[in-house]
Structure 1
Amino acid sequence: MDACRDELTVTPDQIVERTMLVAEEGGRLVAMAGLEPDADVLGLWNMFVTPECIGTGLGGVLFRAIADKAREAGARCLYIDSDPNARPFYEHMGARLVSESPSDSIPGRTLPRLRLDL
């Protein structure tokens, strides 16, 4: 996780530049997702759900909501560079594997790249 810390740290400037959705519980951030703008396609940016909320349905609600935001913005598809462990979740949500993307944090590691047609 330390190798990925810089890449996964969200800054105020990044929040301002993107469409962001968050979920809170008791005033504490428990999930977030953003959209990375790019012409007629968008990328899912840093979707996270805290471990205690995984399996509660929160991830599905958040993913559907961010996909709706992408659709409203006029995107035809949503690209997802996924953690390998999250790939089954995105496939369950309707995304399909299209390629692999190199990790920005760990040399030699690749991430599944998925596409959700909107």
Structure 2
Amino acid sequence: MTGTDTVRIRPARRDEAAALTDLALRSKAHWGYDEAFMAACREELTITAERTERSAVAERADGALVGFTTVDGAPPQAVLGMMFVAPEAMGAGVGRLLFAHAADTARASGCTRLVFDADPHAVGFYEAMGAVRIGETPSGSIPGRVLPLMEVRLPR
């Protein structure tokens, strides 16, 4: 994949839940996590049909899904629940498009902050997007593991 000119962001469909779950698992596994870690994360990374209603996907012109994001919460604070990019699309700007969409979605709902737990491998990306680390939060999947808690302010 060579850029974002052939990628569009659109609302996820309920029938895409399994494909988005697969994408999340492939994206997480890209960072070299072992099978036991991935098994522990499976439930947390499973997208339900209901969850797709708060999700947006990055779709190539050929119909391939190359990323997705979910945004939850209510003013003044939105939560970036999930954001994953397919390994084959990493480095092509898809993450930037998805993050901008998530921020715009949060801002449009009246939120002034977007907060989220970050995988340690993604902290540099989020910092490049303007986010700052504000603390840490316990992992929802791995007992004893903590994740960076990040925030980006959303100017009006």
Report TM bin, short chain.
Answer: over 0.9
Query: Could you tell me which of 58, 61, 65 is aligned with 1:23?
Result: 58
Q: Hey, what does 1:87 align to over in structure 2?
A: 123
Q: CA deviation at 1:107?
A: 0.4
Asked if structure 1 preserves the Cα contact closer than 8 Å seen for 2:67 and 2:95, the reply is: yes
Specify every segment of 5 or more residues in structure 2 that has no aligned partner in the other structure, as ranges. Answer: 1-37
1:10-89 to 2 correspondences below 5 Å: 10-16=47-53, 18=54, 20-25=55-60, 26-89=62-125
Give the Cα separation in 2 of the matches to 1:65 and 1:46. 13
Query: Could you tell me which of 40, 46, 54 is aligned with 1:9?
Result: 46
How big is the alpha-carbon RMSD for the aligned residues of Structure 1 and Structure 2?
1.0
Specify every segment of 5 or more residues in structure 1 that has no aligned partner in the other structure, as ranges. Answer: none
SS of 1:70's partner is helix
Asked if structure 1 preserves the Cα contact closer than 8 Å seen for 2:77 and 2:112, the reply is: yes
Name the amino acid aligned to 1:102.
Answer: P
Query: Quick check: which one's strand share is greater?
Result: 1
TM-score (normalizing by structure 2)? 0.71
Q: What do residues 67-95 of structure 1 show as CA deviations (whole Å, max 9, x unaligned)?
A: 01100100010001010100110000000
Q: CA deviation at 1:2?
A: 1.4
Give the Cα separation in 2 of the matches to 1:38 and 1:80. 14
1:105-116 to 2 correspondences below 5 Å: 105-116=141-152
Structure with bigger gyration radius? 2
Name the amino acid aligned to 2:118.
Answer: S
Number of positions where the alignment pairs a residue of Structure 1 with one of Structure 2: 116
Give the Cα separation in 2 of the matches to 1:87 and 1:38. 24
Q: What do residues 19-70 of structure 1 show as CA deviations (whole Å, max 9, x unaligned)?
A: x210123222210001011441011011000111110011101101110110
Percent identity of equivalent pairs:
46
